[in-house]
Amino acid sequence: MKAAARTATGLLHHLKPEESSTPTSNLTQKTILELLNTRCINSVRNLKQAHAIVLRTGHFQDHYVAGTLVKCYFDSGLGGLDMAIKVFDSVHRPNVFVWNVVLKGCLEREKPWMVLSLYYEMVLSDSRANKFTYTTMFKACGEVGAVDEGFQIHGRCLKSGILFDGHMKSSGIQMYASSGYFPEARKLLELGKYDVVCCNAMIDGYMKSGNVKEAKNLFEKTPERNTGTWNTMVTGYAKNGMFEDSRKVFEEMPERDEISWSGMIDGYIQGGYYKEAIEIFDQMQKQKIRPRRFMLSSVLAACANTGALDQGRWIHAYTRKNSIKLDSVLGTAFVDMYAKCGRIDLAWEVFETMKEKEVFSWNAMIGGLAIHGRADEAVELFFKMQRQKLRPNTVTFVNLLNACAHGSLADKAMKILSSMKNLYEVEPETEHYCCVVDALGRAGRLEEAEELIESMPMEPNAAVYGALLGSCRVHGNTELGDKIGQILLDLDPSNSGRYALLSNIYAEAGKWEKASELRKLMKERKVKTDPGISFLELQGRVHEFKTGDTSHPQAEEIFSQLDSVIERIESEGYSPGKTRVLFNVEEEDEKDTSLKYHSEKIAIAFGLISTEKGSSIRIVKNLRICEDCHSAIKLVSTVYEREIVVRDRVRYHHFKNGACSCNDFW
């Protein structure tokens, strides 16, 4: 390989890229192929030079060389799909190898319809297909549900006598199963001997269709279970939301590979079980299994959602120690993790050191600044993005407008909204209007917010009205709040948060009868409330606390500490905000108790007994923090001389010396 690299480097430096179809050197096919397969083809310039050498030496007439060159364009990502197709179009009477390269390349770049179109060209050119061609075609047909074309491919395979090949059969089974043709898939499975690869394909098809019973039956009948068969069951159960079954199969596996661990971790993350995903990752580390880049990105997402900063920092150290390249995907995952774990400074640090930045990387940094209330910096970063000639997309503007809403930049938000289509050719969507309505509402410009809703080119949804309802409560506009609240209860009748917000508006205005009617309506509609859950990471382990929950092993000590905390802050003027407590709690002492045991208060009590004096306490909560907890935590930060960082569903709150970074505006 080193000799080949030296040869390639010499060629790239000394040969001029002059195109010719006549050989002008004694370079052999082997040398040319070594050149194309070396790692020196790592830039557009090098790839084009190598291309020129192939043309100059006349080797482009060699189908194996031409096909390898096309594959280089596909694999490198340097020339893109268009360039690969352009080179392919220049090949004179391509043979089956060249056709297979371009068919597979298009499939891998998620262009299944292009695969079908090219295959028809191949048939018309009288080029003879082989099993590799048909395997690709089955996959393409399955991805777009082109069953009629799949039947034709099936017929050609039968005619050619190659359908008994294991990979061919499994591809056909996948095609039929993914299109819902299970009897046909089963017939193909039972054609000849049972093959473990084909059984895996059939089990996967059953699982993807939600037919878990048939998948389990076939799994139990499969004569040989390799690790792949078990993996299919693990991922299949997880995708169907059956996490206990998925974990059970995972624990029963005789052997596990990286795909097994990854399947379990990804399944938990997709189901929102972030704490469990991190626990599985910890187990994986104890088994000395080295995680690859794609798994690290997944685990970082779990860290971001639970505030597991220590785990995220460990992964960062691991990538440095093992020289894992910080590409745009992994780098962005770190930016997102650090921002969502409360360390916007470390998010900045990663962002600035990233050599590869895509639009989604800038979006993550702008979004991170937004949730930390650093609106001016978010706007400045947006303009810096423009100077880098990067084109903003829909997500960019959602994050930017969200920053404006949290930073009291209502006028700026209006200007950005009006410029989206004219300057950036991005059509404003409902989510963009929602952010601007929020910005106007927070600024007390409720009439303008209502006018903006009425002027929307699309039907406003519950999120838009919800943003305005929140502002009605903040600014005490009961009349408009009542109007918007009734609209919301029709649009989103099962969302408990809508009832809570409207009930608060009634309670604060002293309209207890209306608040009572609202609670009664909620009971009639059997609306379930979302339980408050707070996460706190300690020494790499994520602890979960629910409102009023006493299941933690240290519950007795935690609640004793919480009693002490409440007593101390009451001496500093804390009084429970009883109008904030909703639904079935009627007695005053019960209201006090309900507020006292909110999940973030329990988490803080745990943090106080588990961390060193003066250290920061970081909490992630699944719901918006209530005003009572917000007031209480400000006092805790003073009395105990602690910085307390809370990320709720909306934004970050940095409590220090009795003040919050949100300026009581969230």
pLDDT value of residue 358: 92
Contacts of 167 (CB under 8 A, 6+ apart): 131, 135, 197
Number of domains in the chain: 2
Token pair of 211 as six digits:
């037919």
Question: For the residues 460-488, what does the mean pLDDT come to?
Answer: 92
Do 440 and 517 lie in a common domain?
yes
Q: At which of 524, 559, 575 does a domain end?
A: 524
Question: For the residues 94-118, what does the mean pLDDT come to?
Answer: 89
Q: How confident is the prediction for the chain on average, in pLDDT?
A: 85
DSSP-derived secondary structure letter, 530:
P
Q: How confident is the model at residue 249 (pLDDT cuts 50, 70, 90)?
A: very high
Residue 487 lies in a domain: yes
- Report the alpha-carbon distance of residue 284 to residue 273 in Å, rounded: 17
Do 511 and 537 lie in a common domain?
no
DSSP-derived secondary structure letter, 239:
H
- Residue pLDDT, tens place only, 398-451: 999 999 998 889 999 999 999 999 899 999 999 999 999 999 999 999 999 999
Question: For the residues 294-313, what does the mean pLDDT come to?
Answer: 92
Do 490 and 544 lie in a common domain?
no
Residue 301 lies in a domain: no
Q: How confident is the model at residue 26 (pLDDT cuts 50, 70, 90)?
A: low
- Residue pLDDT, tens place only, 537-586: 988 889 999 988 889 999 999 999 999 999 999 999 888 765 454 444 33
The vertex-614 CA angle with 612 and 616, nearest 5°, equals 85
Structural domain containing residue 484:
429-524
Residue 593 lies in a domain: yes
Do 563 and 635 lie in a common domain?
yes
Q: How confident is the model at residue 17 (pLDDT cuts 50, 70, 90)?
A: very low
Token pair of 389 as six digits:
């000639």
The SS3 call for residue 321 is helix
Among 13-17, 32-36, 51-55, 648-652, which stretch is predicted with the lowest mean pLDDT?
Answer: 13-17
Q: At which of 474, 507, 524 does a domain end?
A: 524
Residue whose C-alpha is closest to residue 301's, from 335, 324, 325: 335
Task: End-to-end CA distance of the chain: give it in Å, rounded.
Answer: 60
Total residues found in the chain within this entry: 666
Contacts of 525 (CB under 8 A, 6+ apart): 493, 494
Residue 506 lies in a domain: yes
Residue 576 lies in a domain: yes
Token pair of 96 as six digits:
């089956």
- Residue pLDDT, tens place only, 162-198: 766 777 888 888 888 888 889 998 988 887 777 788 8
Do 651 and 605 lie in a common domain?
yes
Do 501 and 552 lie in a common domain?
no
pTM: 0.76
Do 542 and 520 lie in a common domain?
no
Q: At which of 524, 547, 574 does a domain end?
A: 524
Helix axes 227-239, 258-270, angle to 10 degrees: 0
Do 538 and 656 lie in a common domain?
yes
Residue 58 lies in a domain: no
Q: How confident is the model at residue 28 (pLDDT cuts 50, 70, 90)?
A: confident
Residues 652, 627 contacting (CB under 8 angstroms): no
Residue 328 lies in a domain: no
The partner residues of 537 in beta bridges, in order of sequence, read: 542
Do 585 and 514 lie in a common domain?
no
Residue whose C-alpha is closest to residue 12's, from 42, 82, 81: 42
- Report the alpha-carbon distance of residue 304 to residue 302 in Å, rounded: 5
Residue 151 lies in a domain: no
Domain of residue 461, CATH code: 1.25.40.10
Do 483 and 592 lie in a common domain?
no
Do 542 and 506 lie in a common domain?
no
Positive or negative, the CA dihedral 116, 120, 122, 128 is: positive
Question: For the residues 15-23, what does the mean pLDDT come to?
Answer: 38
Do 538 and 480 lie in a common domain?
no
pLDDT value of residue 646: 94
- Report the alpha-carbon distance of residue 245 to residue 251 in Å, rounded: 10
Helix axes 462-474, 430-442, angle to 10 degrees: 10
Q: Is the pLDDT of residue 366 over 60?
A: yes
pLDDT value of residue 148: 87
- Residue pLDDT, tens place only, 584-632: 433 334 344 577 889 999 999 999 999 999 899 999 999 888 888 999 9
The partner residues of 546 in beta bridges, in order of sequence, read: 533
